Structure 1
């Protein structure tokens, strides 16, 4: 069923491209907005437009939004390299490899943690949306490390609440460019989708409150190894905050990393690893902590930065 929206263009979007304006108004990707425009489903002051046309404040938009695509279902197949750190009747803690998403999403065709667990014969909770059953927190597809998945329904509800109430200890290690000043500090800056609508996130006035604490573990000539403690858990939070203070994660080309340094260190993704995860067991009540060792690619690049820089 289609959804027809009619609304004036806010003055704050004066001069924006039509595809960018649609992305911001309706929370779409730029590519999906462009597809809607190409289908002739966008009128500006009664006329069809091209994606590169510009909107003007007070102009009248009529947009026919197609129905959202059906959520993808997890494909049950083992994920090579995904290690089980701990498992009982309520939870399973994994060390997630790179190139693996937490759960299926539109446009992602690679392996997922949920699918990998199901494919290896593990059970997961049935609570939550169909595509993300058992998932109580996420790591980016190319961020590695410790991640807990709920197996029982009670574990799902209690862990979701624990993450929401910030009663979980999430520690990451990140190799960032340069040397943060001060060596230990806090980045307290709101995050929301980047105004470009290209899938990135950014520090944006009026965004969701986001707090990242960092501490320098070791300083090299060209980079620093940080331990990071997340107080909040926004999408791409560490990557956005490190980029905002001009010390992006090595290899994170999406957020401004130097491609030359990344290539010299052999880093082909953001150097970011969820090294430790601590939480209260959802049924037993005891505090548990799990550590995930560096994967080979990050360990090699760390040796290289220590030797060469």
Structure 2
């Protein structure tokens, strides 16, 4: 895109609401951000502004007029970072459990973004409060995520995510035991109509696919490896709860009687991506954090 403030797209073989389609086609923006742009008449379809609920048709020409990004007002904070890899385009960081990725309601400081801003310049595509953030993991999920240092890298990493070229593997302790050793969950996800704080499997949600493999079984718990084919909010947590195996320690989707700790036992263990400039395939992994290892040891001892 030569002009970073004007984004264009032609609808091909897609149908549905405009805001949902654009949130998929332009993955650097959330659906709420797209809706806000539509409400501000910054989204033009075939030369005219339209509503978010407009149903797209094959051949529709869409223009998004992105407002200039304001200079960030976030304060850099010298918080220690566990950087696994860094070059001129990107950073791969191992986020600890309990750290919020970017500022949001109730979390205006001490986030990963605050720490990153004191370390390096970040891309500006994702707006004032999410500089550099290509994808997220939840506050109490630990592990690897990639961060873009410039807009060129951000665009390429986002496109790779959208086209499933980025590999993301997670380890999770979940409730219950499995009769099968592996499986695939294909169930659409969107905001829970009964609870706006949660996501849920809903009939008209966005496509969501999770592959899982059982690595170890304990009494009433299992250790699994989960591979994301899509990247919906809370995807693994929602999908595992949906099939009756919620992530242990999950305060939002799991049972009250669960493993003790500070949140869900979910760890982003490995990440593979393509370097935006060189095209080189890069793969990274991180060791299990202490809290996760200690719980596995406890479960193994109880299993004996």
Question: 1:172 and 1:73, CA in 2 relative to 1: closer, same or farther beyond 3 A?
Answer: farther
Partners of 1:76 and 1:110 in 2: how far apart?
9
CA contact (8 A) 1:74 1:103 kept: no
Alignment partner of 1:88 is 2:87:
yes
- Per-residue deviation, residues 243-291 of structure 1 (Å, max 9, x unmatched): 01111111012112342x313xxx2210000000001111111100011
Partners of 1:242 and 1:305 in 2: how far apart?
20
- What is the 5 A alignment of 1:16-35? none
Instruction: Identify which of 267, 273, 279 aligns with 2:273.
Output: 279
- Corresponding residue number in structure 1 for 2:113: 114
CA contact (8 A) 1:249 1:257 kept: no
- TM-score for the superposition, normalised by structure 2: 0.73
- Corresponding residue number in structure 2 for 1:177: 175
CA-atom RMSD, angstroms? 1.8
Instruction: Identify which of 259, 264, 268 aligns with 1:262.
Output: 259
Partners of 1:275 and 1:224 in 2: how far apart?
17
- What is the 5 A alignment of 1:198-277? 198-259=196-257, 261-263=258-260, 267-277=261-271
- Corresponding residue number in structure 2 for 1:32: none
Question: 1:200 and 1:158, CA in 2 relative to 1: closer, same or farther beyond 3 A?
Answer: same
CA contact (8 A) 1:74 1:112 kept: no
Partners of 1:73 and 1:105 in 2: how far apart?
14
Question: 1:73 and 1:142, CA in 2 relative to 1: closer, same or farther beyond 3 A?
Answer: farther
- Per-residue deviation, residues 7-48 of structure 1 (Å, max 9, x unmatched): xxxxxxxxxxxxxxxxxxxx8xxxxxxxxxxxxxxxxxxxxx
Partners of 1:179 and 1:73 in 2: how far apart?
48
Alignment partner of 1:76 is 2:70:
no
Task: Specify the structure having the higher radius of gyration (Cα).
Answer: 1
Bigger proportion of residues as helix? 1
Question: 1:110 and 1:262, CA in 2 relative to 1: closer, same or farther beyond 3 A?
Answer: farther
Partners of 1:144 and 1:291 in 2: how far apart?
12
- Corresponding residue number in structure 2 for 1:63: none
CA contact (8 A) 2:140 2:262 kept: no
SS of the equivalent of 2:270 reads: strand
Runs of 4 or more above 6 Å deviation: none
- Corresponding residue number in structure 1 for 2:189: 191
Total equivalences in the alignment: 234
For structure 2, the residue ranges without an aligned partner over 5 or more in a row are: 1-31, 33-69
